[in-house]
Amino acid sequence: MPVQNEPHHRVVLENKYIRVLDGQILGHDTTISHRHAATSLVVFLTKSTFGIQIEGEPSIITDVNPGDLKYVDYGEKPVIHRVWNQSLSLFHFLVVEITKKPRDDESCSILSNAFLKLQSVQKSYRTYYADIEKSKKCHIPKSDCAHLLIDLSGRVTTASSGKISSLQTDTFAFFPPNSEIEITTANNENARCVLVEVN
């Protein structure tokens, strides 16, 4: 069964750059065995203990916290696995699949901003933590890369091409290439986000 047909995974965004699946597993629930076949970034949104078992391999138990990231190159090595929640509370995560074929060259410079911390550089994308202080602005200049901003805590407002959006914890916004982005905090509080830059 492909991941998009597994009942605990719901496609919440799909375009020529990425596909985002919202994964939610209730306490002590288990997914059906399903197949991943795209280069992916998993963004964990809850403090949880979960198990995962790839077909034919021993199971692995893992603890995660909100904002933990995991790169998995299912595009090179597809897997069939099942996942279960060992916690009592909801296990919530996003799977960001890269649907765009990566370029051979680096199409975008590494972002330099006081609020951004480079977390990971992969063939298809880069990830940053964006820790934005209250009443401050984080500016992302125009580039040939697309961006996905995922709010981990606090509220933020984004402005791009005259469009203003508000994000709260566990929500996200997508920005196509050549978008100039301004990110500010709301409600006079600090905020933390994950920024995914797709090459």
Q: Express each pLDDT in 96-152 by its tens digit.
A: 999 877 666 666 889 999 999 999 999 889 999 999 999 889 999 999 999 999 999
Low-confidence spans in the chain with pLDDT less than 70: 102-107
Q: How far is Cα 40 from Cα 49, in angstroms, rounded to an integer? A: 20
> Do 156 and 167 meet the contact criterion of CB atoms below 8 Å apart?
yes
Does domain 3-98 fall under CATH 2.60.120.10? My reply is yes
The domain spans of the chain are 3-98, 116-198
| Bridging pattern class, strands 137-140 and 116-121 | unpaired
Q: What is the pTM of this model?
A: 0.94
Contacts of 57 (CB under 8 A, 6+ apart): none
Centre a 10 Å sphere on the Cβ of residue 157 and count the other Cβ atoms it contains: 16
For the domain made up of 116-198, the CATH class stated in words is mainly beta
Q: How far is Cα 136 from Cα 123, in angstroms, rounded to an integer? A: 31
Q: Do domains 3-98 and 116-198 have the same CATH topology?
A: yes
| DSSP three-state, residue 4 | helix
pLDDT at residue 92, as a whole number: 98
